[in-house]
Amino acid sequence: MDKEITCPECGSKEISKGKLDGYVALRPADKLWSTGSPMMAEVCTDCGLIINIRVTKPEKFKKK
pLDDT tens for each residue of 5-47: 999 999 999 999 998 876 777 777 787 777 788 889 999 999 9
- pLDDT at position 3 is 79
How would residue 2 be classed by pLDDT, with cut points 50, 70 and 90? low
Domain layout of the chain by residue ranges:
15-59
Dihedral over Cα of 7, 11, 15, 20: its sign: negative
How would residue 1 be classed by pLDDT, with cut points 50, 70 and 90? very low
**Using alpha carbons only, what angle is made at residue 23 by residues 22 and 28, rounded to the nearest 5 degrees?**
135
**Whole-prediction pTM:** 0.74
